[in-house]
Amino acid sequence: MPTLGIDKNDHQAGKIRGKMLATLGATLDEINKEYLEDEDWREEEDIAERLENYKKQFMEYDNDQSGDLNIMDVKIMMEKLGQAKTHLEIKKMIAEVDTSNSGAINYKDFVQMMLGKKSSVLKLILIFEEKTKQQQKPQGLPPKRDLSSLP
Ligand SMILES: [Ca+2]
């Protein structure tokens, strides 16, 4: 009987990944809720929308759905953003926002970084990336120019 070994495994892996993503998503939703109920932040403009975006970003970059961004996650993130960094640079970037000295950025560190006033290399890169994305949105045609428009 022919086996569908590889396909089946892929399917299983996909299922497991989906489950892990759902679990991570639920955990991050819980944390977002804490921020929404937190007096310090709930007055903040567009806070719900911003938290939802942070969740999406975090899940995109947490490659193994572990709930934190370790050196490997950040390395891949920087490569995706066209900002390849050395191991040491990445270690420093993580240390800037890692409040628990775990060597990785958990979601609370991430939200705190994005909402807080403190500047960090990682935050600057992410904000820059966000702005670039917005600028790349399709714009209208450039204004028509012909001879008669010349002075
Ligand atoms: Ca991870």
> In this predicted model, what pLDDT tens digit does every residue of 24-78 receive, in sequence order?
999 999 999 999 999 988 888 899 999 999 999 999 999 999 999 999 999 999 9
27 Cα–ligand 1 center, Å:
14
Look at 139 and 108; give whichever has higher pLDDT. 108
Number of domains observed in the structure of the chain: 1
Model pTM? 0.80
144 inside domain: no
By CB atoms closer than 10 A (0-12, 13-18, 19+), residue 87 is exposed
62 Cα–ligand 1 center, Å:
4
Q: Does position 3 have pLDDT exceeding 60, yes or no?
A: no
Range of the domain at 44: 14-117
107 inside domain: yes
85 inside domain: yes
Q: Are 105 and 89 in contact (CB under 8 A)?
A: no
Quote the CA–CA distance of 137 and 82 in Å, as a whole number. 19
- CATH number of domain containing 113: 1.10.238.10
71 Cα–ligand 1 center, Å:
9
